[in-house]
Amino acid sequence: MHVAPALPVPSFLSAADGVRLAYREVGEGRPTVLLHGFSSTAVINWIAPGHAAAVAATGRRVILPDLRGHGDSDRSHDPAAYPADVVTDDVFALLDHLGLTDGEFDLGGYSLGGRTSLRAVVRGARPGRLVVAGMGLAGVTHMRGHSFADVFLHVLTDPPPADGTFAPGSAEGRITDFVARIGADRTALRLTLGTAVDTPAADVARVDVPTLVVCGDRDDPADARVLSDVLPRSTFATVKGDHISAANRSDALGAAMAAFLGAG
């Protein structure tokens, strides 16, 4: 784990509804927007593990927003602030705010961030290159029913066990500990998760952008491989780790992303 540098945290108001969204930047060069995973933040997902620095070292201005309901962005408890697909709307608002137009930037994300990046391209975003990390086809086409999303919904919605704890080492226990440790807002997270919109495989197959699909070798590499096979211009890779450790406890993810993005 790298020591996260103290960075300015500018913000802007989303064009969708005026919600304040925060972001950070690392490096200089070609703009590259990276979206963090569900319940995480830009600092935890990208900056602290060194992934942002690895990508920036290829000559890039890495732009790292905190998603709606997360980190330093607004974490409203008003359901009206969480309409369907609003997290993708926020990607377009960020691109507009930064003045980034077709082909002038690259885009990627981890888990929910990867899913959202891909959905933004399906909806018309035109990055030069795309990274979908920690996500497979099932998570893109059917969010409900995806194992990790279902665990999050269980933890954030259902009453905890009578003793208030989940089994040590269980997915529920690890997620509960993580959410508590970083001070995430459980209500805002639950509302954010409910905004997800599925993308049909046929739409994914029309994404004509060079794409890296990468995930942990103990995550769900089979489903990630299926996603890669559906995308017409994809590269597939795995790094060591499960869904959490591949992102937060290894520098291999950043190295894989840097190699792919730096080749463009």
pTM of the model: 0.92
pLDDT of amino acid 170: 81
Contact present, 211 and 234 (Cβ < 8 Å)? yes
Q: Which amino acid is at 109?
A: G
Distances (CA, A) of 121 to 101, 112, 117, 204: 13, 14, 7, 9
Going by pLDDT thresholds of 50, 70 and 90, the confidence category of residue 114 is very high
Of the two residues 180 and 11, the one the predictor is more confident about is 11
Confidence check: pLDDT of 169 > 80: no
Cα distances (angstroms) measured from residue 125 to each of 90, 105, 138 = 12, 10, 22
Residue 93 has pLDDT above 80, yes or no: yes
pLDDT of residue 162: 63
Pairing mode, strands 130-133 and 106-110: parallel
pLDDT band, residue 164 (cuts 50/70/90): low
Q: Quick one: pLDDT band at residue 160, thresholds 50, 70, 90?
A: low
CA atoms within a 13 Å half-sphere pointing along the CA-CB vector of 26: 22
- Helices vs. strands in the chain: H and E counts, helices first: 12, 8
The closest alpha carbon to 248, from 39, 26, 13, belongs to 39
pLDDT of res. 147: 60
Q: Which two tokens stand for residue 129?
A: 């290159």
**Among the listed ranges 25-29, 157-161, 199-203, 235-239, which one has the minimum average pLDDT value?**
157-161
Q: What is the chain's mean pLDDT, rounded? A: 91
If one counts every other C-beta atom within 10 angstroms of the C-beta of residue 65, the result is 28
The torsion angle over the Cα atoms of residues 67, 68, 74 and 75, rounded to 10 degrees, is -110
pLDDT in tens, 47-72: 999 999 999 999 999 999 999 999 99
* CA gap 58, 116 in Å, rounded: 24
